[in-house]
Structure 1
C-alpha cells in the first residue's frame, strides 16, 4: 500500500494533536498522585509512622528472588520452617516486595487483631484469592463485603451449637462405631489417617448434604474422590501461592481433571438437594428473599464449607494421635480417665492446633488506608501506615510458637501449658474476628468424641513411626507420614 504525500502530512499533523489532547489527562493523574502522596506523608508524620525492616531483595522491582526461595522451600517441604527463619532474622514484622506490591509479613498477634477485628472493614481477600477460582469459585472464603455477609448469614445457622449437638447424637456415634471396627485389636501397626479421612467424609457429608457417603463401610468406594480432593487442594495451594498474576505458571493437567472429579461430585449433591426440595414442594417463607437455584453458585458455596469440614476433623485427629504417641509420653500415658476430665481433653486439642495448625498463614489486602498502632520501626513498636493495595500476611504458625509467650519449649507438644496460659490473639488457629471459621465447634465435637471413644477401649498407644512431623501442603497442612501407631487393647 502506497501513501501519498498529503496523506503522510495529515498523519504527522494528527500525532501532536493526539498527544496534546492527552496532556490534560496525564497532568490530572499526576496532580492527584502528588496530592495523595503529600497526604500520606502528612498522616505518617502526624502519627509518627515508620516502615518495618525491609527484606534485602536482589530483584528490587518484582521481588522474584523471594518467590523462587518460597517455591524451593515448598518443594523441599521446608516452607513452614523457612518462614520462622525469616522472622528470626528480620523481626516479627518486616516488609517484602511481591510483583511490585508491598507485602507486610508478620507474626505479631496485635497486627492480626488490627486486621481481623479492629479495622476489619479496611481489608479484603477477594483479589488475592483469585488463583484457584475454578475449584473455590466465589464462596465465602474468597469474597468480601456484602457478598461475604450474605454467605456468612446463610451458613451460620448450620454451625449452631445445638445443631452440632444434635448431629453428634444422631450420626457421629454411628460413624465412630464403624471406625472402631476397622482398628486392629492385636497391637499391630495401623495408619489412622486414612481411617480418619473416611470418618470425616462420612460426618461432613451427613452434616452438609443430609446423607452420609458411608465411606467407612467400603474402603474403595470413594477412594478416587478422596485422592482427587487431596491433589486438587494441593494444586490450589500452589496456585494461591503464585497469585493471580503468576498462576499461569501452574500447568498441571491432572489438577484440572481432579478438580472436575470434585466438581462432578458436588454437582450431583446439588442436583439431589434441588430435586428433594422440588419433590417436597418447599417454598420460600413470606418476606424472605428467595434462595438461588443456580447450580454453579450452590456448588461453590458447598465446596467452601465441605472442604474445611472434611479436612478439619481428619487432620486434627491424625495430628493429635501423632503427638500423643510420641516417646515422651511413654512414662505418662494418656488414658481415658485423664481425657474425661474434659479440661485435659480441651488442652490436648488446643495444643494439637497450636503445634501443628492446619491454617498456617492468612493474607488480607488493604482496601482503605489505615494506621496501625504498632508494626513499624526496627522493633515493630512504632505506628505503621498501611495503604490501599498493601497485603498483610499473618503467619499463625510462627505466632503459635513464639517463645516470648509460649515459653522456651514452644516447639514441644505439652498440653499442660494450657493450665496457666490464657492466650487471646496469640492463639488463632481458626482465624479471628467476624471471619473466624464457623466450623471450629463441629471439628471440636468430632475430634473430642472420637478421641474419647478410642482411648476408652484401648489401654495403650504407641508410635510406630519415629520420623518427625513433615509438612504436606494442600488447602491445609498435614503430616506427610500421617499417623502410624499401635493401639493396645485392655488385657481383660
Structure 2
C-alpha cells in the first residue's frame, strides 16, 4: 500500500469518529443559544398544544398525509380548532414543531416588526419553484427586494382610465357568454376565471389570450388554462405533503409544467415583437411585460416573474368575484341595495374610476367578501433564526413564545377575520354594513401586510370594483339555483367556491 493511500485511511480513521461528536456539540450549542434567547426574551412554555398520538417524533403527520381523508370544510375545522385551543398553539409535525396562530398581534410581528427573523418556508419555495419557476413568491432576502423594486414601478405608473377601458372590452366578451333568455341557469365561476385570464394577459403583456372570444376555438389557450390549473393543484398538494413532497412524482403535472413554460415563452415573444412597431397603442403603460423586459437579465427570469404575477392577478380576482357573487345571489336585499347605489351614481353607463371611488356600499360588499372568504386564507413563515412570538406562552397566553430556527409559524387569516371583538356580533354572517366606520387594522389582512403586502392591491380592487359594478348594472336580478347550498372552499393557491356559482340572471 502506498504512503498516500495509507495517509488517506489514517485521516478517515480520525475523522469518522469525530462526525457524531461534532453533531452532538452542534446540538448542544443550538440548545444553549435557544435557552439564552428564551431567557432573555422572557419566553414561557406554550399555553396550548394540539393533541397528538405520537408526542415524541410526530408521526401523526405522516399518517395524515398517507391515509387520512381530506377534510370537507378544512377552513372551518381550523377555525373550530382555534376556538378550542386558543388563538396560538403548537403542534408536533414529524421532525419539527409548528406554531399555529390567528392572533393579529403575532401576525403583525411575523409580517412587520419581526420581518427579518422570518422567511418564506423552504417547503413552499420548493413546491412553487418546481411548478412555476423562481419568481417574487419564492424569493427571500436581497433577491426578493430586487424583484419587488423592479415590479413596483410597473404597477405604480398605470393609468386608471386605461385599465377601465380595457376591462370594459373584456366584460363585453363575458356578456357574449351569458344567455340572454331570462331564467337560464349558468355557472359564473369559469367565466370569471376566463375573464380574469384574458384581462391579466392583456394587462401584463399587451396581448390577451381572448379565451372568452367565440370567434375561434382557442385550443392552445384553453390547454394552457387547464395546464396552469394542474400546476396550481400540484403545488397545493406538495405543500400539504410537507417534507414528504420529495418522494412525490407527478408525471402529468411535469408535462403540464413544460407546456405552460412553452406557452408563456411563445406568448412573451409575440408580445415583445408586437411592441417593437411604431404604433404606440401596442406599447401603452398598461403593459407590465415591457417594463420587466427592460431590466430582466434573461428570458427565463422574465417568464418566471410573469407566471408569478399571473397567479396574483388572475387567480385572486377570479376567486374574489366568485365568492362574492355566490353570496349576493343568495341575499337579494343586499344585491338590490348594491344595484341601487351603482345606478344612482353611474346610471347605465360604465363607471369611471372616480365614480367607483364614491360607491361606498360596493366597497363594503367587497371588503365583507374578503373578510368572510379571504382568497389567501392561510399562510406561513419559517424562522430564519431562533426568535420569538410576542404572545402564546404561559398559562394566560400573554407571554412570549420561543420559535426555534427552522420551525414554522402558520398564520390563519380565515380564523382571524372571524373575531367578534373586532368585527362585531355574528362574525360568520355576510353583513356589509358592519364596515360603516370600522377600522380593524391588523385584524384584517386580505392582501397580507408588512413589506410583503400585495404590490397590486389597488389594481386588484379597481378591477374588482369595476366588474362588480358592471354586473349589477347589467343584471336586474340574480338568483342562486340552490338557495340552501353552503359555501365550501376549493382549497387551491387561491380559495374559491368548490361547487361553482350557479345562478339565473335577468338583464335590466
Normalised-by-shorter TM-score class: 0.7 to 0.9
Counterpart contact for 1:131–1:242, Cα < 8 Å: no
What residue number does 1:155 align with? 151
SS at the partner of 2:98? strand
Change (3 A) 1:149 1:448: same
Counterpart contact for 1:320–1:349, Cα < 8 Å: yes
TM superposition score normalised by structure 1: 0.87
The alignment of Structure 1 onto Structure 2 pairs a total of residues equal to 473
Give runs of aligned pairs for residues 377-396 of structure 1, distance below 5 A.
377-396=394-413
Give runs of aligned pairs for residues 212-231 of structure 1, distance below 5 A.
212-218=208-214, 220-221=217-218, 222-231=221-230
CA shift at 1:361, angstroms?
A: 1.0
CA shift at 1:473, angstroms?
A: 2.1
Work out the CA distance in 2 between the residues paired with 1:21 and 1:69.
40
SS at the partner of 2:409? strand
Work out the CA distance in 1 between the residues paired with 2:294 and 2:411.
38
What residue number does 1:459 align with? 476
Structure 1 position 171 matched with structure 2 position 174 = no
RMSD value over aligned CA atoms?
Answer: 3.0
Change (3 A) 1:47 1:474: closer
CA shift at 1:166, angstroms?
A: 4.1
SS at the partner of 2:476? strand
Which of these residues, 196, 200, 212, is aligned with residue 200 of structure 1? 196
CA-to-aligned-CA distance 1:365-420 (integer Å, 9 cap, x gap): 11122233222234321112222112111111111122332234111111111114
Work out the CA distance in 2 between the residues paired with 1:59 and 1:164.
57
Change (3 A) 1:251 1:18: closer
What residue number does 1:474 align with? 492
CA-to-aligned-CA distance 1:98-137 (integer Å, 9 cap, x gap): 2311211111111110011001111111523212322222
Change (3 A) 1:195 1:73: farther
Work out the CA distance in 1 between the residues paired with 2:75 and 2:67.
12
Structure 1 position 211 matched with structure 2 position 207 = yes
What residue number does 1:486 align with? 504
What residue number does 2:324 align with? 320
What residue number does 1:334 align with? 337
What residue number does 1:40 align with? 34
Counterpart contact for 1:369–1:387, Cα < 8 Å: yes
CA-to-aligned-CA distance 1:300-325 (integer Å, 9 cap, x gap): 11111012211122111111111111
What residue number does 2:444 align with? 427
What residue number does 1:79 align with? 74
CA shift at 1:171, angstroms?
A: 1.0
Give runs of aligned pairs for residues 41-440 of structure 1, distance below 5 A.
41-52=35-46, 53-66=48-61, 68-69=63-64, 75-125=70-120, 127-129=122-124, 130-160=126-156, 163=158, 165-185=160-180, 186-218=182-214, 220-221=217-218, 222-243=221-242, 245-275=243-273, 291-326=295-330, 328-330=331-333, 333-339=336-342, 340=345, 342-440=359-457
CA shift at 1:165, angstroms?
A: 0.7
Work out the CA distance in 2 between the residues paired with 1:83 and 1:140.
28
SS at the partner of 2:138? coil
Work out the CA distance in 2 between the residues paired with 1:193 and 1:291.
36
CA-to-aligned-CA distance 1:142-192 (integer Å, 9 cap, x gap): 1100110111111112222x5051442441111112223333332321211
Counterpart contact for 2:227–2:257, Cα < 8 Å: yes
Change (3 A) 1:457 1:32: closer
SS at the partner of 2:212? helix
Counterpart contact for 1:351–1:414, Cα < 8 Å: yes
Change (3 A) 1:415 1:163: same
Work out the CA distance in 2 between the residues paired with 1:331 and 1:275.
47
Counterpart contact for 2:391–2:401, Cα < 8 Å: yes
Stretches of structure 1 that go unaligned for 5 or more consecutive residues are 1-5, 283-287
The answer to which of 317-326 and 92-101 deviates more is 92-101
The answer to which of 137-146 and 225-234 deviates more is 225-234
TM superposition score normalised by structure 2: 0.85
Stretches of structure 2 that go unaligned for 5 or more consecutive residues are 284-291, 346-357
Work out the CA distance in 2 between the residues paired with 1:342 and 1:28.
65
Work out the CA distance in 1 between the residues paired with 2:165 and 2:422.
41
Change (3 A) 1:303 1:347: same
SS at the partner of 2:202? helix
CA-to-aligned-CA distance 1:252-280 (integer Å, 9 cap, x gap): 33222222232222111232345457778
CA shift at 1:56, angstroms?
A: 2.5
